[in-house]
Amino acid sequence: MAKKGRVFSGARPTGRLHLGNYLGAVKNYVALQDDYDCVYCIVDLHALTTVEDTENLKQNSFEMALDFLAAGIRPEETIVFVQSHVPQVTELHMILSMVTPLGKLTDLPTFKEKVRQQPENINYGLVGYPVLMTADIVLYKSNFVPVGIDQAPHLEFAREIVRSFNHRYGTKVLIEPQIKTTEVPKVLGIDGKEKMSKSLNNHIEMAATPAETKARVMEMVTDPARIKRTDPGNPDVCNVFTMHKVFSSGSEVEMVNVECRRAGIGCVECKALLAKNLNSDLEPFRARREELALRPDTVRDVLEDGAKRARTIAEQTMQEVRKAVGLP
For the CB of residue 281, give the shortest distance to ligand SF4 in the complex, in Å.
Answer: 18
The answer to whether residue 217 forms part of the interface with ligand SF4 (CB under 6 A) is no
How crowded is the C-beta side of 79, counted as CA atoms within 13 Å?
Answer: 26
The answer to whether residue 277 forms part of the interface with ligand SF4 (CB under 6 A) is no
Angstrom distances, CA of residue 156 to CA of 20, 160, 164, 177:
24, 6, 12, 9
Give the integer Cα–Cα distance in Å for 246 and 256: 13
> Which range of residues in 91-99, 103-111, 196-204, 230-238 is near ligand SF4 by CB under 6 A?
230-238
For the CB of residue 223, give the shortest distance to ligand SF4 in the complex, in Å.
Answer: 4
The answer to whether residue 270 forms part of the interface with ligand SF4 (CB under 6 A) is yes
End-to-end CA distance of the chain: 41
Q: Which is nearer to ligand SF4, 156 or 219 (CB)?
A: 219
Q: Which of 240, 243, 307, 318 binds ligand SF4 (CB under 6 A)?
A: 240
Q: Which of 204, 260, 278, 303 binds ligand SF4 (CB under 6 A)?
A: 260
The answer to whether residue 238 forms part of the interface with ligand SF4 (CB under 6 A) is yes
DSSP of 137-182: HHHTT-SEEEE-GGGHHHHHHHHHHHHHHHHHTT---S--PEEEE-
Vertex 46, ends 191 and 123: CA angle to 5°?
A: 95
> Which range of residues in 77-85, 130-138, 202-210, 235-243 is near ligand SF4 by CB under 6 A?
235-243
Residues ≥6 apart with Cβ < 8 Å to 125? 48, 49, 132
Rounded to the nearest 5 percent, the helix, strand and coil shares of the chain are 60, 10, 35
For the CB of residue 308, give the shortest distance to ligand SF4 in the complex, in Å.
Answer: 49
The answer to whether residue 233 forms part of the interface with ligand SF4 (CB under 6 A) is yes
The answer to whether residue 226 forms part of the interface with ligand SF4 (CB under 6 A) is yes
The answer to whether residue 243 forms part of the interface with ligand SF4 (CB under 6 A) is no
Residues that bind ligand SF4 in the complex, under the rule CB under 6 A: 222-223, 226, 233, 235, 238, 240-241, 256, 260, 265, 267, 270-271
